[in-house]
Structure 1
């Protein structure tokens, strides 16, 4: 954990942390019930970097520490264009599907709590989302992450289409 903290301090990035869920779990054994906690945490700098992590422990503070550590380890870059995502995409994880759709300025974040935490900390200000299938917060967060990881930046889209980024935004003029 000290290595991660040093790495973050070295890069000078300041991540905001958010605990999305704390769930109490029990394991029934011959000797009785063993209680533990599972925590889902999201970290992000509200400027295109976000990470999600899960931590499990017998005590809540330990689980939170583990979840935040895991989230910091899983930070990735999200392409953002004018406060929204460059294109529509569906993120999938197990039985959960999350549709992420770009929105015009002023729309805000239309989303459920778990997906909202991820996109807010990523720095996305305008987005429409629809989640279907599983409602498990851990799976929804992972589906959202999968969708965001598969986004292509405008530059990458332009390169694939062999046009300029401006033509991607405004459309290519038809000749004739």
Structure 2
């Protein structure tokens, strides 16, 4: 006779008749067994979903005071039943009590599978996918900022009206929006938002402002209204550019701004471009050197614009005529401004700066990097290429000149020999 030791887990998991046989006990079939219902209550089915998520994502008051749970705010509470309808699935089933009543009249309904409906399946898939998939907010190309759906570069409309006065024709562009973390003794680490915007009407009135708040929309609204309260007036030369070249700086940020002809466009930093559009400047080139700190960049550019002088003021400063040369006028001199008293040649000192660009730039020169020759210019194959295509070198320029002068591409001898042109036609 062999003895077996059974653990409690093995004992409970085995059928009762097998255990009785192993112990040589004949089961009595007349024995009555009583059953008792036991409620299986635990942590997960006792509490609702909100409290369960709170236990995962939140920290107790004592833990928060000690600085625990710093990254708990990043966890998003998810709806685990999102896109799910109880009793409705891809298979067309009839579930009494879920998708159909239990009793229909005097008939007790049973679970059964209904014939497949392809239209219903496609609709369920589309509804479920639309509810479960995260869709990024799509913006039109006109409403986009500098980088996709981010706020810098986007328009937020004119400033709020002050009493009965409204900002008609104004538009505000966001230049910067960033979050700041502040450490406080009582509240710990708190988050603030800082915004910088520029507003203008495109006709010489513009201003910039800063705003701080607990939320991003409030910070933007503060900055927008402060920019509207600090408007500055600028003179636009011929309605499209600045009065003259200038050099400006703020902190370690240096900006060299150059006046350009009509049609050149705005070739500059994107923040400077937004400021120029708010003011109404259309043609300009700006070179930034040193620090790219955005607030310093904006302040430096506004300082440079405010320090501009009109052509008449420049003529009065130097007591000389101000003459302009333009390529569209074949560099023919044109007097723009004349002073009340003009100095003679003998009255001008020998060491005085007479170069206009050097004078308005405050003796500052733009740093020009050395240009190296391309590597392929020293290769024999490139020299062979130049020699081979020498006879075709000016063809594009000649074709363009013929279209400008004669209206089409034709020979220089067409006027002398018109019969040749008729044969070609």
TM-score range, shorter chain: 0.7 to 0.9
Contact kept in structure 1, 2:266 and 2:283, CA below 8 Å: yes
Rounded to whole Å, the distance in 2 between the matches of 1:46 and 1:112 is 18
CA contact (8 A) 1:37 1:60 kept: yes
Give the Cα–Cα distance (whole angstroms) in 1 for the partners of residues 256 and 165 of structure 2: 31
CA distance in 1, matches of 2:317, 2:160: 38
What is the CA deviation profile of residues 154-173 of structure 1, one whole-angstrom value per residue up to 9, with x for unaligned ones?
Answer: 23324434567xx444248x
Q: Could you give the per-residue CA deviations for residues 60-100 of structure 1, whole angstroms, max 9, x where no partner exists?
A: 11111111122112211112112111111122111211221
1:21 alignment counterpart: 176
CA contact (8 A) 2:160 2:225 kept: no
Report the count of equivalent residues: 169
Give me the whole-angstrom Cα distance separating, in 2, the residues matched to 1:92 and 1:7: 38
Q: Does 1:86 align with 2:86?
A: no
Q: 1:22 to 1:146 in 2, by over 3 A?
A: same
In the alignment, structure 1 segments of 5+ residues that lack a partner are none
In the TM superposition, what whole-angstrom CA distance separates every residue of 1:95-146 from its partner, at most 9, and x where no partner exists? 2112211011111001111111111111000000011222121111111111
Which structure would you say has the larger Rg?
A: 2
1:40 to 196, 201, 206: 196
Offset at 1:149? 0.8
Deviation sequence 1:25-78 (CA, Å, 0-9, x none): 111334432100110100011111111111111111111111112211221111
Cα separation, 1, equivalents of 2:164 and 2:323 = 36
1:16-165 paired onto structure 2 within 5 Å: 16-30=171-185, 31-82=187-238, 83-162=240-319
> What secondary structure sits across from 2:162 in the alignment?
helix
**TM-score relative to the length of structure 1:** 0.84
More strand by share: 1
Q: Distance in 1 between matches of 2:316 and 2:164?
A: 33
Q: TM-score normalised to the size of structure 2? A: 0.37
Q: 1:8 to 1:158 in 2, by over 3 A?
A: farther
Q: Relative contact order: is structure 1 or structure 2 higher (C-alpha 8 Å, sep ≥ 6)?
A: 1
